[in-house]
Structure 1
Amino acid sequence: MRPESDAWNRALTGEPDGLSRIDTPSLVLDLDAFEANVATMARLARERGIGLRPHAKTHKCASIARRQLQAGAVGLCCAKLGEAEALAAEGIEPLLITAPVSAESKIARLIALNARVRGLAVVVEEPENVKALGEAAAAAGQTLDVLIVNDVGSHRFGVPTVEAAVELGRLIAEQPALRLGGIQGYAGRIQHITGYEERRLLSRSAAAHLGAVRDALREAGLPCPVVTGAGTGTHDFDHEGGVFTDLQVGSYIFMDADYDAVALTPDGSRRFSNALFVLTRVTSCQHDGFATTDAGSKCFALDGPPPRIARGAPQASRYGMFGDQFGKVELPDGGRLPVGTLLTVVPSHCDPTVNLYDAIVCVRGGKVEAIWPIEGRGRTD
């Protein structure tokens, strides 16, 4: 928590020079770009006749989840049970937990959450987990919705074959307290492939497998109303085969330096704008050619390309780390930056960067408009 910093930023709300006075480092959301991104994805989904089930792992923020629901989303996804609990406490529903919940302690929490959330569902892949969930739901006098998660190439989890999915579906049907809601398949490994056509071909293969699972379940007399998966990287063509009922898009609301290199349209044009930034200030510049800032590796997730400077430094400048607490701006031609210079930096990977902050400072036209808490920060449980 950083109450003093957040209080300072909150006090700047509505001030004409609020953005220039913001306490740093801070996570900042450009509301105009964010709202345009939300509206664009919602419009595409409507035009293509497919639903959106955005993934809250990207933002972990109830204020953003509400805006996605208001734009027409059929629900929100959560990567972990703790994330779902955090959003449910703010009234966000329906929620789909996109990873299996199998530990005894977590099953107890899941059943408690199911009692107070409309439209809660969780994915399953293991027979023993299905039995444990069925017994727990029955003991609580509940019905729990489950989706079969399928491995479509990432090998992180998911049943590997059509036959295994049908066998698991039959087991679910034997549990009076469980209801089979459909299937999930997330091809996470292909979302950041830079080439449009290569990504499209791999996505078709994943969708074809899910279509085969769906058809086999129905042939076995089992329901499969939902086929969910996909992501920002494959959003432009995952509707084409008619397999998916909804898309688990996440990064589209923010974008990041990693997605900057991914062609999301056939001609490579930018459909979504960078909306999420880390604001940092120069704190020292005693040498030619580089400056020190107040945002180091504790302010950025670093599992992708280097963060990119969007504003505040010469075009050829590069951002790097000067340790945990400090950043380094490498300046062209031996240049210098005055102490206090405000830099706007695009994070490498938006999802884990958000998890490093307690709140998002929302700005529009140079003014601080709101401070949104990140309720799911740290909820990796």
Structure 2
Amino acid sequence: MRSHGLVVDKGVVEVGPNLLSGVSLPAAVVHEGPLAHNLEWMQRFAEAHGANLAPHGKTTMTPALFHRQIQAGAWGITLATAPQCRAAFANGITRIVMANQLVGQANMAIIASLIEQGATFYCVVDSHENVRQLGRFFADRGLTLSVLIEVGVAGGRCGCRNQQQVLSLAETIADEPALSLVGLEGYEGVVHGDNPESGIRTYANYLVDIAVELEAAGRFAEENPIVTASGSAWYDVIAESFQGAPLQGKFTPVLRPGCYIVHDHGLYREAQSAVLARRPDLQQGLVPALEVFAQVQSLPEPGLAIVALGKRDIGHDQLPIVLRRYREAGTPAQPLSVAGWEVTKIMDQHTFVRLPDDAQYVEIGDIVAFGASHPCLTFDKWRQLLLVDDALNVKEHMATCF
């Protein structure tokens, strides 16, 4: 490890001046300006549609980003597992939605401890057996657990498959004194078909209709019960459905996108283009904030550069995209050409980049910025990420807690 500058060793970071000198690469980087834009943009979007925002924290598992989301106005943070919830609570997040079933006594014990320490916690249920298990466990602990019924779709993931199952489950919850039914939860990302937009609108309306029916029947234990859905691809459709008259003043709509905070250069960039096509009134939209920087390590034959970047460093459900190139110890104001550069293959520690015939001034040690698809699958490879300004000066190191 170098004793000067900034060193990233997948976990140890010493704050230093600039990403182009003194940083052990590869390094995962979050750009300060785009991050601030995305935080403000999505919060403003949710508020404009009368909804609360509980971003899905599993995307980043980065407490520094959780706190930025809360400071921007988020109602809470969504997570997927009991250990994730424990990590978030240990870092100061007190309102937590676990958009998943709470199964297993060890996981129940984790959540019971968080509730005893003052967490406001919600999880989802979709079966009578899970309801009975939770009822017994939390009764024995002398606690009340707030639950949301998950509304699923045929062939999808979890969740009750029809309205009758939802109504029946609500009755079972009412028979468990340690459980409190406080709303409904769904996830539209499992809705597919030839016309997904139509299917998702139908699903969102179905979720609203069931909520209204349960509320009319007095099944919810709280005023203004929660109705929540929305990933990072269809949040506009969900928000429009939740903004309708049936929920106004009677429910707490909650949107749960997660990837918006850093966006991406693949899957969600495509999804955002579709959002803006559906909603041309939305200005600019989200912008990519996450990149991985790495160095050219070999030029073994004409037309080929090998970069010291691999599957252990960057998400690869789609191949990374070459964005920019710099000379080591150079300045961000003088990027070098990457026109025609194309990633063709990625291995554990190496990325193959095809160079055009006219590629010039390529040197060993050149620093290349890459964009990835699906930010979840890049964050989970790092114990630290670097927050940088427009000049690539390192402003903060942000620890992850996967």
Whole-Å separation in 1 of the counterparts to 2:396 and 2:344: 29
State the 1:322 CA deviation.
4.3
State the 1:7 CA deviation.
9.2
State the 1:362 CA deviation.
0.6
**Of 255, 259, 262, which residue of structure 2 is paired with 1:254?**
262
In structure 2, the residue matched to 1:340 is 365
Which one has the largest radius of gyration? Answer: 2
In structure 2, the residue matched to 1:61 is 62
**Of 266, 271, 285, which residue of structure 1 is paired with 2:299?**
285
Structure 2 vs 1, CA of residues 333 and 117 (structure 1 numbering), >3 Å: closer, same or farther?
farther
In structure 1, the residue matched to 2:312 is 298
3-state SS of paired residue (1:99): strand
Structure 2 vs 1, CA of residues 227 and 246 (structure 1 numbering), >3 Å: closer, same or farther?
same
Instruction: Describe how 1:50-199 pairs up with structure 2 within 5 A.
Output: 50-152=51-153, 155-189=156-190, 198-199=195-196
3-state SS of paired residue (1:222): coil
Whole-Å separation in 2 of the counterparts to 1:290 and 1:190: 41
Structure 1: tracts of 5 or more residues without a match = none
Length-normalised TM-score, structure 1: 0.90
Check whether the contact 1:182–1:226 (CA below 8 A) recurs between aligned residues: yes
Instruction: Give 1:293's aligned amino acid.
Output: V
Instruction: Give 1:309's aligned amino acid.
Output: V
3-state SS of paired residue (1:87): helix
1:360 aligns with 2:381: no
1:97-116 per-position Cα deviation (integer Å, ceiling 9, x unaligned):
11111123222222222222
Whole-Å separation in 1 of the counterparts to 2:30 and 2:7: 20
**Number of aligned residues:** 367
Check whether the contact 1:231–1:249 (CA below 8 A) recurs between aligned residues: yes
1:41-86 per-position Cα deviation (integer Å, ceiling 9, x unaligned):
1111122211111000111111111111111111110011111111
Instruction: Give 1:11's aligned amino acid.
Output: E
1:349-381 per-position Cα deviation (integer Å, ceiling 9, x unaligned):
211211111011110122000000001x2xxxx
In structure 2, the residue matched to 1:11 is 14
**Of 322, 328, 348, which residue of structure 2 is paired with 1:309?**
322
1:215 aligns with 2:212: yes
Structure 2 vs 1, CA of residues 205 and 185 (structure 1 numbering), >3 Å: closer, same or farther?
same
Check whether the contact 1:162–1:216 (CA below 8 A) recurs between aligned residues: no
Check whether the contact 1:20–1:342 (CA below 8 A) recurs between aligned residues: no
Check whether the contact 1:298–1:356 (CA below 8 A) recurs between aligned residues: yes
Whole-Å separation in 2 of the counterparts to 1:231 and 1:7: 29
**Of 375, 380, 383, which residue of structure 2 is paired with 1:350?**
375
3-state SS of paired residue (1:142): coil
Whole-Å separation in 1 of the counterparts to 2:148 and 2:51: 18
Check whether the contact 2:13–2:384 (CA below 8 A) recurs between aligned residues: no
